[in-house]
């Protein structure tokens, strides 16, 4: 019986290369990286020649893998590297030698780069590019050098290859690697399910008011400003892990900004527009509907940066008293250390961005998704290539990864402002260095009580960089560090009793949990390591510490929860989650 042929390896590696090149795109304008870009372009033919050489190399590899054989390779994969963990890699001496040879060469390249005479930033940039190439060249990523994939093809009579080709063609049509079964989810049906209504909209955002889940609510409502770089429903994935639902259960009237997924017609919007027509307008509407003089405001990631700069502008204009408190989740205000993400933004690439979309245009969500995936390619790209295209295994449904693939576009002027004033020049932290909405920006004028949260393993907003905000803001501060990463650390509901968090201990050493009243009175040291040495670890979710803190902001006055959402001026427009969040990036 004729066996089905495998998908052409040259073709599918070529398409994966396009994805990698999209991730490395910000470097393209920098002549210093030209040799690497040329090397990446030649990747497909190199891979093909390597596969031919491997057939001659295997007999020697098998002999060299014999214990005691001179020159045998004994290097092991790093802890957490699952690429070669399956038994098939060690059962066959040839494949065992192949994986170890690859790891040895990769280690040698890293060591050579580390010894190179160059400054740390340049070395880190080369290190990032080196990792992209080395990760892509892993023998696990190619059918002919992956014993698991070959065995699966034999066991299934070639059906895995047919299914892998089908999955590849589907992803080729999408322009990206699938990480989950996207047909299993629908926004508003089984994600973003919290009941509520859209009570206001303009060209930039819709404002959602969520239905109360308690008989009485705090008089001061909570306004949530999610990142405009992603869809808001990461904060409302499922009822059991929804921060929105949790806040409502704690007696808060919750309003949330749902940003528009912009197209070319909105490509002129600036950071000022998002402050004035976005955050400030949302504050005004939430106050009026709730009948409150103030709101408590929460910002997540770039939404936190947008919120903090907006409050500084409001302070300069004498409007600071409209906001009782500020919560910032995994937010950068000081960009001194931005991790690998900051390495992608160079003066040359920034100039190219500004010349193309800086005065009008769109930074496409797909490009941003490639960039973020490249930070963790061995977690977010290659496992799905191997399992899907090589082994014919469709990814299972996972709500978080569905959200991750739901791209959002950004207006070019807004994106360029944030990249230049933040990542490239780090001016937001310098009083008066930037003008916003016609006034000099000074974060020291943000004097509201602030709760700052960071995730210890965050690869997008390093926790020490998030901690640096404690030295910029002018009000009483609480800093909490949670376990895990940028998303998993934030979305950690108390009911699951997972992970832990760190906070300065209460004044009363016999207390069982941190005391928010005592915490805000303690001065925070400038050195994050000094803070960490003083902090105490508590089991469970940071949400409880935040809830205790938030309960004290804006007073403890409660009012009966309203049965009707909106008011006469701002009547309900449509049920939550609204139209804007359902729009797909184009």
Question: Dihedrals φ, ψ of 206, to 5°?
Answer: -110, 145
Q: Which residues pair with 298 in a beta bridge?
A: 224, 327
Nearest to 466 by CA among 523, 408, 414, 524: 524
Please, are residues 513 and 502 in contact by the beta-carbon 8 Å criterion? no
Give residues with Cβ within 8 angstroms of 483, minimum separation 6. Answer: 455, 456, 457, 489, 492, 499, 500, 501
Give the span between the Cα atoms of 246 and 547, in whole angstroms: 9
Question: Dihedrals φ, ψ of 310, to 5°?
Answer: -65, -45
For the question of residue 301 being annotated catalytic, the response is yes
DSSP letter at 585 equals P
The backbone region for 251, taken as left when phi is positive above 0, alpha when psi lies in -120 to 50, beta otherwise, is: left
- CA dist 76 to 85, 114, 189, Å? 10, 20, 46
Q: At what angle do helices 93-115 and 120-136 cross, to 10 degrees?
A: 160
What is the DSSP pairing of strand 500-503 with strand 477-482? antiparallel
In DSSP notation, 485-533 reads: -TTTTTS--GGG--SEEEEPPPSSTT-SS--HHHHTTSPPPS-HHHHHH
Give residues with Cβ within 8 angstroms of 316, minimum separation 6. Answer: 439, 440, 442, 445
Examine residue 577 and say whether the peptide bond preceding it is cis (omega within 30 degrees of 0): yes
Give the span between the Cα atoms of 582 and 186, in whole angstroms: 9
What is the DSSP pairing of strand 450-455 with strand 439-440? unpaired
Please, are residues 258 and 214 in contact by the beta-carbon 8 Å criterion? no
Give the span between the Cα atoms of 244 and 235, in whole angstroms: 6
Question: Dihedrals φ, ψ of 65, to 5°?
Answer: -80, -10
Q: Which of 142, 228, 301, 437 is catalytic?
A: 301
Tell me the residue ranges of DSSP E strands in 312-449: 323-329, 362-363, 410-411, 435-436, 439-440
**Residues recognised as catalytic:** 301
């Amino acid at each position: 019986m004729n066996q089905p042929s495998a998908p052409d390896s040259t073709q599918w590696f070529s398409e994966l290369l396009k994805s990698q090149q999209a991730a490395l795109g910000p470097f393209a304008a920098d002549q210093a990286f030209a040799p690497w870009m040329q090397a990446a372009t030649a990747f497909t033919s190199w891979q093909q020649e390597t596969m031919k050489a491997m057939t001659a190399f295997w007999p020697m590899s098998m002999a060299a893998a014999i214990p005691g054989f001179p020159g045998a390779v004994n290097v092991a994969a790093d802890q957490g590297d699952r690429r070669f963990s399956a038994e098939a890699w060690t059962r066959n001496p040839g494949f065992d030698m192949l994986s170890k040879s690859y790891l040895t060469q990769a280690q040698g390249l890293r060591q050579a780069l580390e010894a190179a005479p160059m400054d740390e930033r340049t070395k880190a940039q080369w290190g990032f590019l080196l990792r992209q190439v080395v990760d892509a060249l892993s023998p696990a990523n190619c059918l002919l050098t992956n014993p698991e994939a070959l065995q699966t093809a034999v066991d299934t009579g070639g059906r895995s290859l047919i299914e892998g080709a089908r999955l590849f063609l589907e992803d080729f049509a999408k322009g990206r690697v699938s990480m989950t079964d996207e047909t299993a989810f629908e926004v508003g049906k089984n994600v973003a399910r919290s009941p509520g209504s859209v009570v206001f909209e303009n060209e930039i955002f819709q404002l959602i008011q969520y239905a109360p889940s308690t008989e009485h609510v705090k008089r001061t409502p909570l306004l949530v400003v999610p990142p405009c770089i992603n869809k808001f429903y990461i904060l409302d994935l499922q009822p059991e892990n929804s921060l929105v639902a949790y806040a409502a259960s704690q007696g808060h009237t919750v309003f949330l900004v749902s940003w528009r997924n912009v197209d070319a017609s909105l490509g002129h919007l600036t950071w000022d527009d998002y402050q004035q027509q976005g955050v400030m307008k949302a504050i005004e509407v939430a106050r009026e509907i709730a009948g409150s003089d103030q709101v408590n405001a929460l910002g997540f990631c770039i939404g936190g940066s947008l919120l903090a700069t907006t409050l500084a502008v409001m302070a300069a204009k004498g409007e600071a008293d409209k906001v009782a408190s500020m919560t910032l989740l995994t937010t950068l205000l000081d960009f001194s250390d931005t991790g690998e993400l900051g390495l992608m933004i160079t003066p040359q690439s920034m100039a190219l961005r500004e010349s193309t979309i800086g005065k009008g245009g769109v930074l496409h969500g797909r490009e941003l998704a490639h960039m973020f995936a490249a930070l963790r390619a061995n977690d977010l790209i290659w496992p799905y290539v191997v399992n899907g295209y090589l082994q014919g295994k469709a990814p299972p449904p996972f709500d978080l990864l569905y959200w991750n693939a739901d791209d959002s576009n950004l207006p070019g002027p807004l994106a360029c402002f944030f990249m230049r004033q933040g990542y490239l020049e780090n001016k937001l932290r310098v009083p008066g260095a930037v003008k916003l909405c016609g006034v000099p920006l000074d974060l020291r004028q943000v004097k509201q009580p602030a709760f700052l949260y960071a995730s210890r393993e965050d690869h997008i907003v390093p926790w020490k960089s998030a901690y640096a905000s404690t030295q910029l803001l002018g009000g009483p501060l609480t800093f909490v560090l949670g376990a895990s990463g940028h998303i998993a650390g934030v979305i950690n509901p108390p009911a699951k009793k997972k992970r832990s968090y760190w906070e300065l201990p209460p004044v009363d050493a016999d207390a069982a949990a941190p005391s928010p009243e005592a915490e805000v009175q303690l001065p925070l040291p400038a050195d994050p390591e000094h803070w960490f040495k003083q902090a105490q670890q508590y089991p469970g979710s940071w949400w409880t510490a935040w809830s205790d803190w938030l309960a004290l902001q804006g007073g403890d006055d409660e009012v009966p929860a309203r049965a009707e959402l909106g008011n006469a001026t701002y009547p309900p427009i449509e049920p939550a989650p609204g139209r804007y969040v359902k729009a797909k990036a184009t």
